[in-house]
Amino acid sequence: MKKFKTESKKLLDLMINSIYTNREIFLRELISNASDAVDKLYFKSLTDSDVQLSKDELAIHVGFDEGARTITISDNGIGMTKDELDKNLGTIAHSDSQAFKTDNAEQQGDDIDIIGQFGVGFYSAFMVADKVTVISKAYGADEAWQWESSGADGYELTPAEKDTAGTDIILHIKDSTDTDNYENFLDEYGIVAIVKKYSDYVRYPIQMEREKSRQKPEPDPKPEDYKPEWETYTELETLNSMIPIWKKQKSEVTDEEYNNFYKDKFGDYADPARVIVSRTEGTANYNALLFVPSHRPYDFYTKDYEKGLALYASGVLIMEKCADLLPDYFSFVKGLVDSEDLSLNISREMLQHDVQLRQIAKSIEHTIKNELSRMLKNDREKYEQFFQAFGLQLKYGLYSDYGMHKDLLQDLLLFPSSKEAGKLVTLAEYVDRMPEDQTCIYYATGESIARIEALPQTEAVKEKGYEILYFTENVDEFAIKMLMKYKEKEFKSVSNSDLDLETEEEKKALEEKSADSKSMLETMTKALEGKVSAVKLSSRLKKHPVCLSSTGDLSMEMAKTLNAMPGADQKVEANVVLEINPNHPIYERLMALSTADEETLGKYSKLLYNQALLMEGMQIEDPVAFSDLICELMEK
Ligand code: ADP
Ligand code: MG
């Protein structure tokens, strides 16, 4: 007996002891494996002229024997060699189960969720069977092999007899108990219903010998007391409709069917947020069925996440994940494209240069954009949920490729703002409700909304009655810089040194006061040499003594982000200005020191500068020196 690998064993134990109510999905899993195997053989026949095959013969067969308590799922697909049986059924290698493995570490015992979340594959057979026998003959091989396991901890591999290539999977169904009933899986109608429910779109016929009854032919001549006689017979019936869901008219398909197809095909446990059915004729002929997931996949921001759409040529799968069909900023979209314009045995390399494919991709990009815009307009709540999950990706898209996609993406953005707590605003809405005298779009950056709202720099803008967009993600300010303007309105950070919010009189008053404070400001600037480019008086501050602002294109937040990036060995620095509130009591104190004690003024400067940094949510350079300085000044 060979032992299962540890991970496989864990999964297996879970299946055996499963209390999952949807046990019936085992059939979906086995049929989908059978369909994959048939696909593989069919694909081989297209690319390899040695493989002679007629498409009509390809099929999956489901049979059962109530007396022996078995269900058999057979396919005439590619089959497995001894090594493949060993490798594929003895270890979990595929991605879904791999994900299961990592997740399982944290969620042990919570098996219901786990089973619901991932395609569970071959081992799901053990939810309903206490013994599983697999007899397989690989295409082109001389010998067949049998794999058999009763779950526990291992399996046996023995030579077997089988005439043709393909795989038979025989499940020995568990006995029913008081609490668990397995009889449905040994019942013709039960099995047929499960197949139709989950596997209706499988592209190969799923056949079953069905018992039927018919009237026996009437004898001729018919006796007086003739009573019609009935006989039962069996007939091979195809259970699935096979028409791919994306080929059906939208009106023929229910929402539930679309949702089930999505969950089944893309291994999600939740319904999609949006289903996009698109049929295009013209420069690019294709059917597309796309889905916007309702939540962010757990691996979305890992290197394991692969974007792409499944690509079919006239109903035949040619690529599971065609990355070229989706731009990065829509990488969250799942789905498939079926086109008659593509040839079947096109290679991956050729696809990259395929004009048709590029046209399809372009058209899909617009379809997705339009659908998202529609969602934003008609179903705001759902869009906001979507944006919580994938908004970041749209912002990255705006920033990438030197802002090339801004026209496509700018109206899909949402930001929190100072206007209404908990609500998000689009750029268009912001501009629409701007007061007449407002000329720029104001924004403030910070770690969180609460942090931003406490920023001294926001005071003056708010007092003017202007709305402020809150940027809480690192990418926000970078993305917006790519836009430069929206509807002719420039973006301006509230931390910009040149906010220009004052009236002429206010400006004049400030200028005069600044002239009086010239020597003090000079002393302070000197004390902060290398840290700030200037110290100046400011009219923007209301109750706070100081704040930092910056001039030029690079804000402090942006510099912080850039410097924190991996590989940023050359530090960039923003051009920082320390602003002082001339109406704050501290101002008088500074003025007094300016004539009496320049050395202490220098120390005060450092203190205020560091305080301003802290308020900004920035790190101070030397916390120890800072606290020493506080003590020193306290002792005075
Ligand atoms: P997945 O289908 O996600 O790869 P499964 O656990 O369902 O994972 O199956 C594991 C592997 O076993 C498959 O990838 C395939 O290589 C092999 N396999 C399972 N069933 C069959 C079959 N009927 N014919 C050929 N290979 C099969
Ligand atoms: Mg599978």
575-580 β-sheet, strand order: 534-537, 575-580, 546-551
Q: What is d(CA 9, CA 11) in angstroms, rounded to the nearest whole number?
A: 5
Q: What is d(CA 597, CA 587) in angstroms, rounded to the nearest whole number?
A: 15
Q: Residue 324 forms beta bridges with which residues?
A: none
How many angstroms separate the alpha carbon of residue 103 from the centre of ligand 2?
19
Q: What angle do CA 444, 447, 450 make, to 5 degrees?
A: 75
Distance of CA 406 to the CA centre of its chain: 21
CB of 39 closer than 6 A to ligand 1?
Answer: no
How many angstroms separate the alpha carbon of residue 122 from the centre of ligand 1?
7
> Residue 97 has what pLDDT?
41
> Residue 350 has what pLDDT?
65
CB of 200 closer than 6 A to ligand 1?
Answer: no
**What residue type is 218 in one-letter code?**
E
> Residue 91 has what pLDDT?
73
Q: What is d(CA 286, CA 293) in angstroms, rounded to the nearest whole number?
A: 22
> Residue 101 has what pLDDT?
43
Is 41 in contact with 50 (CB distance < 8 Å)? no
> Residue 208 has what pLDDT?
97
CB of 166 closer than 6 A to ligand 1?
Answer: no
How many angstroms separate the alpha carbon of residue 25 from the centre of ligand 2?
11
CB of 77 closer than 6 A to ligand 1?
Answer: yes
* Helix residue ranges per DSSP H, 337-416: 348-352, 355-378, 380-399, 406-409
CB of 122 closer than 6 A to ligand 1?
Answer: yes
Q: Tell me, what DSSP letter sits at residue 401? A: G
Q: Is 315 left (phi over 0), alpha (psi -120 to 50) or beta?
A: left
CB of 605 closer than 6 A to ligand 1?
Answer: no
In order of 387, 418, 483, the CA distances from 425 in angstroms are 12, 10, 17
Low-confidence stretches of the chain (pLDDT < 70) are 18-21, 92-120, 315-317, 343-353
For the chain, give the longest Cα–Cα distance. 135
> Residue 344 has what pLDDT?
56
Q: What is d(CA 330, CA 390) in angstroms, rounded to the nearest whole number?
A: 9
Q: What are the DSSP E strand ranges found in 516-558?
A: 534-537, 546-551
Task: Kindly report the protein residue whose alpha carbon is nearest to atom 11 of ligand 1.
Answer: 88
Q: Give helix 585-596 / helix 518-527 axis angle, nearest 10°.
A: 80
- In the chain, the N- to C-terminal Cα span, in Å, equals 84
> CA-based Rg of the chain, rounded to a whole angstrom?
35
pLDDT digits (tens, 9 = 90+) for 165-185: 999 999 999 999 998 899 999
**DSSP string over 302-355:** STT----EEEEETTEEEEEEEGGGS-GGGTT-EEEEEESSS-TT--HHHHHT-H
* Helix residue ranges per DSSP H, 17-110: 25-47, 82-90, 95-107
The ligand 1 atom at the shortest distance from the C-alpha of residue 32 is: 2
CB of 121 closer than 6 A to ligand 1?
Answer: yes
Q: What is d(CA 16, CA 532) in angstroms, rounded to the nearest whole number?
A: 67
Q: What is d(CA 502, CA 500) in angstroms, rounded to the nearest whole number?
A: 6
Residue recorded with tokens 């690529």 = 319
Q: Give helix 6-16 / helix 95-107 axis angle, nearest 10°.
A: 70
Verdict on whether the full-model pTM lies above 0.75: no
CB of 37 closer than 6 A to ligand 1?
Answer: yes
234, containing H or E segment: strand 230-238
The ligand 1 atom at the shortest distance from the C-alpha of residue 89 is: 12
Question: Any idea which ligand is nearest the CA of 320?
Answer: 1
The ligand 1 atom at the shortest distance from the C-alpha of residue 96 is: 3
User: If DSSP codes are grouped into helix, strand and coil, which group holds residue 63?
Assistant: strand
